[in-house]
Structure 1
Amino acid sequence: MTSSLSQYVDYFLHPYVAKLRSHVRDTLHVIDSISEIRWKPTYLWATCDVTSLYTCIEHARGLEAIKYWLDRDPSFPDKHKQFIIECIHFILTHNYFLFEDKFHLQICGTAMGTRFAPSYANLFMGHWEESSFWQNTLLGAGLVYYGRFIDYIIMIWDGEASVLSGILSSFDDNLLGLKFTFEISKLSTVFLDLALSTDTDLNIITTTHFKSVSVNSYVHASSNHHKQWLNNIPLGQFHRIRRNCTRDVDFKSQSVSLGNKFLSKGYDPALISDSFDKVSSSDRSTLLNQSKNKQHKGLRLGYDTPVVHSGIEASTLRFITNYNQSFKAINKILNDHWSVLKCDPHLGPTLQDRATVTYRKARSIKSILAPTRLRSSSTSTTDKLQQGPLGNHPCGRSRCITCRHLLSQTQVCSSIRGTTHAIKSSINCLSTYVVYLIQCGCDLKYVGRTTRTLGTRFLEHRRNAIKGLNNHSLSRHFKTFHQQDPKTMKVMGIETISPNTLGGDRFIMHCTALHIMVVAHLYIYIFFANKYNIILAYIFTLTHLSIST
């Protein structure tokens, strides 16, 4: 409903984001910003994360922040300024989403999927920084570096950890409803896809950060894509590691792991070797400068510089179509008749000399037989998701590990009140957008959510329990009380969410509905029992709008 309007608004807001003094564009921007910093023994790393930023911005305060930045630009006409504000108000107050076959209106915050949301959230945080953060003289006295990527903040601070901890804790005391979580370390930190640390000579060292639960998700070499596009994937990933890694030894180490991932995806060993050799022979500083020049082209920084919104120069008209093996013939036909378009007195001057064709992934047998989104028909979305008996059922695959742990039940019982919740969908390990429950042998329950298949997410939990990882409550519990043995781990789906729900990240919007509209069947209450160093998760049926814990 508001998609095109959101794109229009973002065209005018985005240039102001680049002018924020805290703005972090991407990983390369961070590397460039900290490259001249000489580490001192008294320095500390700190990262902060704003909790649920998109959904906590009150409309009035968000519009106030946008008006603040527009008013600082003398080149922006007052009438157009008011029009932009009214457009944003319309977008915020007309964000409808579908939940349980009923449309609901989001009454607080902005939709995560709408085009202008990142710029809107960035400028809102920038307004908070101007009115509060930059006014903190105690923090400013020790601040060496500060950068922010939307709701994720990185700092380098000179001083005591206890003092910095007190300052960061005070961030929660604001009138905007912002809540922060933070981590402080003297040794290292992680920001975006960078792992940052220092060496014995007090130089800042960066490497590419891979999550401990990350899996090999690269496109298979046999995928129906343009061959040139597929062959460029290893080269692009080696370039990424080369730019991120300060030291050659780290680059070579991570390249070995990356090469093995491509081998397992069916890529030609010669292609992988050639890509590595090409990147390893390149100078890292040259790669960084090339990327920086591309991204800084046309970008002007400085608060006193007016933002000029001009048309796109040297635009390229692209013919976008599904890839097929006749792509050479398509290119030839377009270029043979390109002169017809070039002869047009109005269109001709805006076109490039030759046709540019962009191929997207074509439909495969898998996408036809097992589409990720059900086709619309006269039946409701809920009816489509419930093709089969309600409750949890095995997927039928003979080697499915998840099915061995699946609880084939049609209802879930509350651990607190003893009441039951009927499962209203037909769920198996191939179901997506699932709220699920995992139960261990000691009858403790963990409730989670996933946008991927239930089987994929459960196998991650199972693998983490076997590894004994401490970064998640579930795997930590199995390490402490079950000797990392997942045999007693049982799983079941509680609810599935329609894949046709409108707007942005559909699953997150569903969870937003649970809090804003209070229409859920379950409320999840987590109690931290520090004395026993375990986490007990209870679920119970929601019967009142106000809940006493």
Structure 2
Amino acid sequence: MSMDTLVINLSQHILSADEMSVLARGPSYVPTLNFDDFGLEVDLFKFERLLNLKSFFSHRTTETMPPTEPPGTDNLALPIEPSGTVNSADQKGTKLTNVWSSKQLSFLDVLISQENGEFHTDLYRKDTDRNALLRADSHHPPSLINALPFSQKVRVSRITSRQDKLAPAMDDLRERFTKRGYTPAVLDAALNREVIPNRATKDEKRIVFSTTYNRASNLVRFTIRKHWHLLQNDEVLAASCQTPPLIAYRRGRNLSDNLIHADNKDHYHTPHFLEGGKQGNFRCMNCSVCNSLTTGDVFCHPHSGKKITIHNRITCRSTFVVYIIRCPCGLVYVGKTTRMLKHG
């Protein structure tokens, strides 16, 4: 494989106004996703399997580890060194800056300072940091968009120890959210909400239904809750399905996932001897399913006798397969699996 097929030179490409508008939204921006019926089918299959496992193991109890105490802070001390700044540049012109002080220490987003024998904490942001907050028009669940300003308020309130610096930090937080498209109503509801310290969490073990958020997610959530009473009245699943499931959404593909590919695995992937080649059904020659597998590129319908062509290469190692099990009595069972066919 030549380097021309691996590397695409985009240095001469001129971005259009629409492309510039999309890229300006940031790499974390998620475009609106269409309904993925196959992905939802896979998520529902995994959820069904989780329900069966929960019902089977519901009689077992899990042991919990005792909570561990945080390490003591009696001997906490900051290194005292002279203040200063060091600037250096490499041959490519990259500038590196190292700043230290005997009165303050920065760690991640926290600035620890010492004044009059007391320690204080404030928010710390580098001069080169940009506004990386999630945009309000990104295709995320509305509950996440509405809860993000309040979660950032809690973060600012916990880090900022001095009340005289809390109000300017909140004003700066409001300005940053406004630039990302959040409405004043959402910001007022979040920033005026009272922060409850050490809030107690509910200790309930709810089953989780995980799926990718898309246009049909609200309809899926409504349908599950509408018909959940059928599982609550089921003889087998009633004990483990009394509480409706907790619906958790996975993030869709953002601009970074679609545009940035740091590692091209195709150029060093070692193909299996069963990959590629002629289409049809073949044995892998290394499992127990091979003995009962019917090979060929065509199979007949069990009742009508119509010939059906296989348009892919399927082996015992293939995943996401619809299969047929033929009974000696003449009946057939049609099933599906997301795992390898030899493990399904």
Give the greater-gyration-radius structure (CA).
2
Larger helix share, 1 or 2:
1
TM-score interval, normalised by the smaller of the two chains: 0.3 to 0.5
TM-score (norm 1): 0.30
* More relative contact order, 1 or 2 (CA 8 Å, 6+ apart): 2
